[in-house]
Structure 1
Amino acid sequence: MLIQTTQLEKKVTTSEGELQILHPINMQIAAGETVAIVGASGSGKSTLLSLLAGLDLSSAGDVLIDNEKLSELDEEQRAKVRADKIGFIFQSFLLIPSLTALENVMLPAELAGHKTAEQEARELLAQVGLSERLHHYPNQLSGGEQQRVAIARAFIGTPKILFADEPTGNLDKKTGNTVEDLLFDMNAKSGTTLIMVTHDGELAKRCQRILRMDAGRLNEEQRDVA
């Protein structure tokens, strides 16, 4: 399995005592799968995504990425796992305002030491239909264009795993549909494992599996089999 959790928990201490955000979670995700994590606000979806990506540490249990236990790695080692194997798409795009579209996409590859970073970035921006926007800054791009830049950035280096947190949450329906199509098309071409958090039921149905969070507990929805 590419991703596996064993008795994964997250607790935080508040002024009112200990709060259990995630109850023990055991899950497995195979290479190449597309998985949606759905649930109400505050159900623990984004917390789970952060733990799976190594952006946050669990209170108990383990996350294994490619058989590596994240709990046994220090922050530098976890950062290397993210750089080598993981791409991210965020609802708020998180592009660097002072960098052009091309430079934003190049950045992860440059940090990873890719000598062909610019060529890779140009090819990815062409795939998302932004060849004419290479030298535009984020504030010169529409929301849909910014999200397409973010998708191109996430795919640079051909990550094994792509995490997407509400990838169309800040877009109108028409633009969101275009971005969805692009995301799944690029995912299919690259063979990347896609794990996304979404409130959009129609978007979730496009994934092979739907995992539902409910008050910190995870359940898998049964899909109709034709």
Structure 2
Amino acid sequence: MSIAQPVLRAEKISKQVSSPEGTLAILADVDLSIQAGETVAIIGASGAGKSTLLALLAGLDEPTDGRIWLNGAELTALDEDGRAAVRAQHVGFVFQSFHLVPSLTAIENVMLPLELAGKSGAREAASEVLERVGLMPRREHYPRQLSGGEQQRVAIARAFVTRPALLFADEPTGNLDSATGERIIELLFELNRGAQTTLVVVTHDNAIAQRCGRTIRIDAGKVAA
């Protein structure tokens, strides 16, 4: 169902960085709007600016110019602490390199965002989502004791445990073999359907992009027509 207010909106965002050769434009005048419940793939060649765009949309980085709204909050009007508060309340992440805390068990990694937010019932909620990703028997294992696919399943459980309005996935199968990657993507979309989360995935994999309801192509820092 379409709603008047998009869950994610970017208006004329640009990102420039300094380099030995001078100022480098990574993104230029990007506009986009994503409605609640959409599944959107951001695709493009390596170096096109996909991951930079995701970082800006999630409030992990600040644009040089432009404005971004996430679930009604203007990220570009907030300081780092303000953006972190918005992420903690509304956003889940799945990264290519898992980003699990090595000193925590699987269940402790999944509990972490709930505990950081001061939520009660963290262990029960983490157990429920670990059950859904098929990892309850491995809940007391540390990341080093898990395969790559198992680590990514823990990361997906951690992303969904807060019931985020938006889930950002950056090349979620990039470090996995093709068969494991296919199972991870199946799981990601299955959980997403159940949670009715808005999913934004950066990928170079056309098979993943085709599973999304819409594709945004980034070419040399701009949204391609």
TM category, shorter? over 0.9
- The secondary structure found in structure 1 opposite 2:186 is helix
Match of 1:10 in 2: 15
1:207 counterpart = 2:212? yes
Give the corresponding residue for 2:201: 196
CA distance in 1, matches of 2:140, 2:187: 21
Tell me, yes or no, if structure 1 residue 152 matches structure 2 residue 160.
no
Match of 1:183 in 2: 188
Alpha-carbon distance in structure 2 between the residues aligned to 1:131 and 1:15: 50
TM-superposed deviation, 1:10: 0.4
CA displacement, residues 147-178 of structure 1 (integer Å, 9 cap, x when unaligned) = 00000000011000000000011111111111
The answer on 1:136 being equivalent to 2:141 is: yes
- Which of 105, 108, 126 is 1:121 aligned to? 126
CA distance in 2, matches of 1:76, 1:195: 23
Q: Is 1:74 matched up with 2:79? A: yes
* Aligned residue pairs, count: 220
Q: 1:67: how far off? A: 2.2
Please give the alpha-carbon distance, in whole angstroms, between the structure 2 residues aligned to 1:48 and 1:112. Answer: 26
Matches within 5 A, 1:48-127: 48-127=53-132
Q: CA RMSD in A?
A: 0.7
Q: Give deviations 1:17-51, integer Å, cap 9, x for gaps.
A: 11111010111000000000011110000000000
- 2:45 maps to what in 1? 40
Cα distance in structure 2, aligned partners of 1:59 and 1:29: 21
Percent sequence identity over matched residues? 56
1:217 aligned to 2:222? yes
Q: What secondary structure is seen at the aligned counterpart in 2 of 1:22?
A: strand
SS in 2 for 1:97: coil
Cα distance, 1:13 vs structure 2: 1.5
Gaps of 5+ in 2: 1-5
What is the alpha-carbon distance in structure 1 between the residues aligned to residue 71 and residue 144 of structure 2?
Answer: 38
Secondary structure, counterpart of 1:103 in structure 2: helix
- Out of 28, 32, 50, which is 1:23 matched to? 28
Q: With structure 1 as the length reference, what TM-score do the two structures score?
A: 0.96
TM-score when normalising by structure 2: 0.96
Shift of 1:211: 0.7
